């Protein structure tokens, strides 16, 4: 007993077990969600449902993920981390079991939505302690691991989806998430460190929670209705517009509220705004381009799911390369430029896609696939990092929740809209796809210009993050200036 107890004491709270627990808690749902694009026909046929109904599993799961992050940000203020983590993991296991043994599409949708909710909860429970709980030297390993674990998982989804679609064993994929959930629970019981609540006396920000739930829910509901109702239907545009207005109201109200759940004030200076916009714009572009490329490969080139999935292996490989680049420049001033390089890579991918035809070879698609992976890895996590390092460590979880709420509401709303646009553009799909690719390309160029202008308006130079100041003194790592709307005439 003594040796067993001493082993647990030596493992609990140590670095590598914490990394493994965090990645195992988050990666399965990201892989599963990004693989469903290729699995919908297989799942629908197995359950005797329309593929459009399986599409709702992705819509509701992503909406639930965004809401889970917001709820976790509030709960972390008043409860210790271990009970919360175990509760969230139990919820994930329950959702995985529901999806694995689903007898109809309703249970599948419910199970995947529960998985999304628990992953959002775990995102805030797992990432902030991993980033803030270890010495500075560990960050050069932690951040690349997070990039691989999160967006490496997303980029691995099409490859996994193609393989599973070929075998038809989609239940085994859900079963694998169930097994990983159980494994994560066991490892967390052994190795997860105990941390006290961040602010036990904090009041519940009911306004922020209600606006987050209603805004996100309406956005995703409206987008989900698009395929069924079309552009001109109020069932599409009324919920979408109302949801967007509620999310804007959330940001405005939280900006001027004392003890707000969402730290909007500290996040509205130059560097975090640059990072948040890069994450939102690039997340939407990556998701849209990925979905559109799958449509091109399956419906224009006529490839099956397995052949389509195989063409996305460079996305994963380039994502890993991007993670290594992030780690290499993390302690330098160049970390602030990564999102612009990543956005450029996504713009190049969109531009290359504007020229694809039914005769386009696999080599061209592999090049595009690599540009997508590199772009995603250099934008979303570095953008999130710019926001997180611009606030005090105790606000990191709440900053992540806000960024993820906004990013998911945009990223997973844009993809379906672009697909519907391409499909309804004309009698043939390819011209619609080309137009959609040009839209994304223009969107990326406008984003690059806009973020550059924000940087110029700040009137400061890029500088290395003060990581020791962040971790040891509890202050922001970046000295981020306010965004200037006019040139000051005061002397420096």
Per the CB < 8 A criterion, the answer to whether 35 and 29 are in contact is no
Coil/strand/helix, residue 431: helix
Q: For position 490, what pLDDT does the model report?
A: 45
Q: For position 485, what pLDDT does the model report?
A: 60
Short-list 41, 126, 53, CA closest to 92: 126
Per the CB < 8 A criterion, the answer to whether 91 and 29 are in contact is no
Buried b (16+ CB within 10 A) or exposed e, 306-339: bebbbbbbbbbbbbbbbbebbbebbeeeebbbbb
Q: For position 488, what pLDDT does the model report?
A: 47
For the chain, list residues with pLDDT below 50: 1, 488-492
Gap between the Cα atoms of 427 and 419, Å rounded: 14
Q: For position 1, what pLDDT does the model report?
A: 46
Per the CB < 8 A criterion, the answer to whether 464 and 136 are in contact is no
Gap between the Cα atoms of 66 and 33, Å rounded: 14
Per the CB < 8 A criterion, the answer to whether 399 and 267 are in contact is yes
Q: For position 239, what pLDDT does the model report?
A: 94
| Other beta carbons less than 10 A from residue 348's beta carbon | 18
Per the CB < 8 A criterion, the answer to whether 175 and 100 are in contact is yes
Short-list 426, 422, 40, 420, CA closest to 223: 420
- Specify whether the backbone of 459 is left (phi greater than 0), alpha (psi in -120 to 50) or beta: left
Short-list 411, 417, 425, 161, CA closest to 298: 161
With tokens 């459009």, the residue in question is 52
With tokens 């390993």, the residue in question is 141
Beta-ladder partners of 173: none
Q: For position 378, what pLDDT does the model report?
A: 94
- Specify whether the backbone of 426 is left (phi greater than 0), alpha (psi in -120 to 50) or beta: beta
DSSP state letters, 30-72 = HHHHHHHHHHHHHHHHHHT--HHHHHHHHHHHHHHHHHHHHHH
Interhelix angle 51-78/206-229, nearest 10 degrees: 170
Coil/strand/helix, residue 383: helix
* Token pair listed for 366: 């592999």
Residues 6+ apart with CB under 8 A from 410: 280, 281, 283, 284
Coil/strand/helix, residue 13: coil
Return the ∠ at Cα 201 (arms to 197 and 204), rounded to 5°.
95
- Burial tier of 158 (Cβ tally within 10 Å: 0-12, 13-18, 19+): buried
Short-list 375, 376, 369, 377, CA closest to 312: 369
Buried b (16+ CB within 10 A) or exposed e, 12-39: bbeeebbbbbbbbbbbbbbbbbbbbbbb
Gap between the Cα atoms of 64 and 115, Å rounded: 8
Residue 32: alpha-carbon gap to chain centroid: 13
Gap between the Cα atoms of 470 and 450, Å rounded: 28
Gap between the Cα atoms of 103 and 101, Å rounded: 6
The torsion of the CA quartet 329, 332, 338, 339, rounded to 10 degrees, works out to 130
DSSP state letters, 174-199 = HHHHHHHHHHHHHHHHHHPPP---S-
* Token pair listed for 287: 């998701």
Coil/strand/helix, residue 264: coil
Gap between the Cα atoms of 442 and 254, Å rounded: 32
| Other beta carbons less than 10 A from residue 380's beta carbon | 28
What is residue 296's DSSP assignment? I
Gap between the Cα atoms of 457 and 451, Å rounded: 10
Strands (E), 244-379: none
What is residue 334's DSSP assignment? G
């Amino acid at each position: 007993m003594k040796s067993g107890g001493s082993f647990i004491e030596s493992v609990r709270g140590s670095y590598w077990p914490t990394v493994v627990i965090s990645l195992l808690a988050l990666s399965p749902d990201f892989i599963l969600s990004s693989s469903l694009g290729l699995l919908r026909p297989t799942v629908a046929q197995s359950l005797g449902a329309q593929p459009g109904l399986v599409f709702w599993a992705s819509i509701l799961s992503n909406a639930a993920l965004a809401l889970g992050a917001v709820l976790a940000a509030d709960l972390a203020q008043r409860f210790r981390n271990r009970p919360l983590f175990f509760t969230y993991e139990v919820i994930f296991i329950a959702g995985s079991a529901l999806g694995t043994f689903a007898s109809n599409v309703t249970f599948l949708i419910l199970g995947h939505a529960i998985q999304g909710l628990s992953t959002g909860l775990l995102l805030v429970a797992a990432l902030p302690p991993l980033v803030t709980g270890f010495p500075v030297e560990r960050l050069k390993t932690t951040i690349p691991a997070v990039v691989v674990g999160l967006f490496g998982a997303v980029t691995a989804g099409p490859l996994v989806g193609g393989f599973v679609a070929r075998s038809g064993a989609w239940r085994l994929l859900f079963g694998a998430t169930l097994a990983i959930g159980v494994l994560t629970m066991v490892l967390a019981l052994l190795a997860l460190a105990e941390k006290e609540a961040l602010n036990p006396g904090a009041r519940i920000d009911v306004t922020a929670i209600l606006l987050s739930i209603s805004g996100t829910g309406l956005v995703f509901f409206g987008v989900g209705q698009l395929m069924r109702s079309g552009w001109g239907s109020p069932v599409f545009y009324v919920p979408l517009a109302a949801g967007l207005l509620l999310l804007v109201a959330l940001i405005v109200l939280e900006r001027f509220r004392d003890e707000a759940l969402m730290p909007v004030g500290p996040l509205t200076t130059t560097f975090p705004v640059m990072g948040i916009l890069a994450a939102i714009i690039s997340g939407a572009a990556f998701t849209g381009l990925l979905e559109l490329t799958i449509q091109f490969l399956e419906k224009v080139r006529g490839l099956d799911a397995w052949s389509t999935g195989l063409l996305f292996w460079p996305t994963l490989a380039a994502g890993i390369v991007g993670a290594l680049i992030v780690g290499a420049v993390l302690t330098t001033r160049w970390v602030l430029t990564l999102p612009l390089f990543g956005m450029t890579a996504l713009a190049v991918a969109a531009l290359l896609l504007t020229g694809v035809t039914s005769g386009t070879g696999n080599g061209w698609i592999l090049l595009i696939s690599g540009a997508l992976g590199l772009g995603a890895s250099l934008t979303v996590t570095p953008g999130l990092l710019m926001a997180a390092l611009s606030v005090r460590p105790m606000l990191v979880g709440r900053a992540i929740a806000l960024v993820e709420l906004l990013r998911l509401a945009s990223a997973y709303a844009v993809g379906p809209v672009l697909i519907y646009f391409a499909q309804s553009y004309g009698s043939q799909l390819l011209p619609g796809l080309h137009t959609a690719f040009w839209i994304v390309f223009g969107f990326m160029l406008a984003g690059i210009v806009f973020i550059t202008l924000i940087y110029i308006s700040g009137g400061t130079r890029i500088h290395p993050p003060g990581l020791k100041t962040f971790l040891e003194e509890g202050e922001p790592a970046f000295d981020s200036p306010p965004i200037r709307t006019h040139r000051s005439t005061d002397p420096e």
